[in-house]
Structure 1
Amino acid sequence: MNETHHEPTESEPQPKAAEHRETDPKPSPAIYVASLADYNNGVLHGKWIDAAREPEAIQADINDILDSSREPNAEEWAIHDYEQFGRWRVNEYDSLEQVSRIARGIAEHGYAYAAWADVFDGEEASCDIDSFHEAYLGHYDSVTDYVEQMADDLGYEQQLDTLPEHLRDYVRIDYAAIARDLHLSGDIATVDDPNGGLWIFRTNH
């Protein structure tokens, strides 16, 4: 059996990402911020804040929480809860710059952005949004589906038609083998989508 192996490179076109995910409702990441002076005195004083905004806007809402506290020294705060951040985990004392950056990426690009940030442990998430676009290969049911789409876009099956007719029935592209080798090479990273399928990212961009 002949096997055609292909790995994504900068110079070659990538298959079009699955489009069905684009119709899903966009997430609205939010954080619950509480005044620590109140919390330490047994009072829950805080509110949910839209996190997909500039850090200054988030800080203004936090200032409102602290200013409305009945505690005389309400100056410290912490993130006590969060929602719609996908796979990204927001910690109690994460910087507003990081929270804002991740939240805005998720609001614009969906949970694929959260998965990407999770894969790179936040390092890539501090880069320009172009890094996400360069890395994201799409949402697919499997790596094999990605490879089949890539092969179709590059015309691999059509190339088989150029073989002598008596050989065509004996030559197949082993998509599963390509998918396995591509995954094992480390050139791509995959993240399971809890709702089915997976997100695929290029790691060597």
Structure 2
Amino acid sequence: MRNLESTPKIYVGTYSQYNNGSLFGKWFDLTDFADFKEFLQDCYEFHRNELDPELMLQDWENIPDFLISECSLHKEAFTYFEAIGEMDHETAEAFEIYCKQINYWPSNGYELDDQLDGFRESYRGFFGGSGKDATLEYTYQYIEETGLLSGVPSALEKYFDYEAFAKDLFLEGYSEYEGHVFVDY
């Protein structure tokens, strides 16, 4: 996993304790567990004082909402954290956006590997760091990479309307979220 500030953690209590007015539980650092099964075993072991504890996830940190709710942690969460642990911060942020707002994982039914493949095909990079319009920054790169203006004389090239082209480009085929640019498929 990455640093302590981005470590996924869950405060786990039980519905029985909660219904009896107690918030008794424990913070579990998910980086301490190899997989979902090991995490659940530790939770049940901690709440062994109850006959049949019904776990309640009362609070969490650094876990995307699409992986967790009050009553469940998605079984693919550990695989997800392993995958983003191998990414730099910017790419991990973009992958979370892709899963949450573009391709709706895990509810789309895809395996994580397929989701990662789709992300790699779609993601074009982060263009919001310069304080300028990310769509315009990407448009300049797009025009350069595609050679769109390569045959145009330099005297005419300065009249090209990059802003209008950026609007059209992002109306049909590209999306921008928080400075991250994606191809729409």
The Cα of 1:148 is off from its aligned counterpart by 0.7
CA contact (8 A) 2:67 2:74 kept: no
| Unmatched 5+ stretches in structure 2 | 129-133
1:170–1:155 distance in 2 versus 1, CA, 3 Å: closer
Matched, 1:177 2:177: no
1:121 corresponds to which residue? 104
Query: Equivalences for 1:15-26 in 2 at 5 Å?
Result: none
Per the normalisation by structure 2, the TM-score is 0.72
Q: Does 1:112 align with 2:94?
A: yes
* TM-score, structure 1 as length reference: 0.66
Is 1:50 matched with 2:37?
Answer: no
Does residue 172 of structure 2 align to residue 189 of structure 1?
Answer: no
RMSD: 3.1
SS of the residue 2:47 aligns to: coil
Distance of 1:88 and 1:106 partners within structure 2: 15
- Contact 2:36/2:75 (<8 A) preserved: no
CA contact (8 A) 1:33 1:46 kept: yes
Question: What pairs up with 1:60-139 in 2 under 5 angstroms?
Answer: 60-69=38-47, 71-85=49-63, 90-109=68-87, 110-119=92-101, 120-122=103-105, 123=108, 126-128=111-113, 129-139=116-126
Q: Provide the C-alpha distance between the structure 1 equivalents of 2:183 and 2:4, rounded to a whole number of angstroms.
A: 25
- The structure whose RCO (Cα within 8 Å, separation 6+) is larger is 1
Question: In 2, are the aligned partners of 1:189 and 1:202 still within 8 Å (CA)?
Answer: yes
> Which one has a larger percent helix, Structure 1 or Structure 2?
2
Alignment size in residue pairs: 167
Give CA-to-partner distance per residue, 1:33-88, whole Å, 9 cap, x none.
Answer: 3333333331421222316976xx23323322222326332432132222224675
Give the aligned residue type for 2:7: S
User: Using the alignment, how far apart are the partners of 2:32 and 2:127 within structure 1?
Assistant: 27
Tell me the CA shift for residue 125 of structure 1. Answer: 6.3
Distance in 1 of aligned mates of 2:127 and 2:65: 17
Partner of 2:183: 202
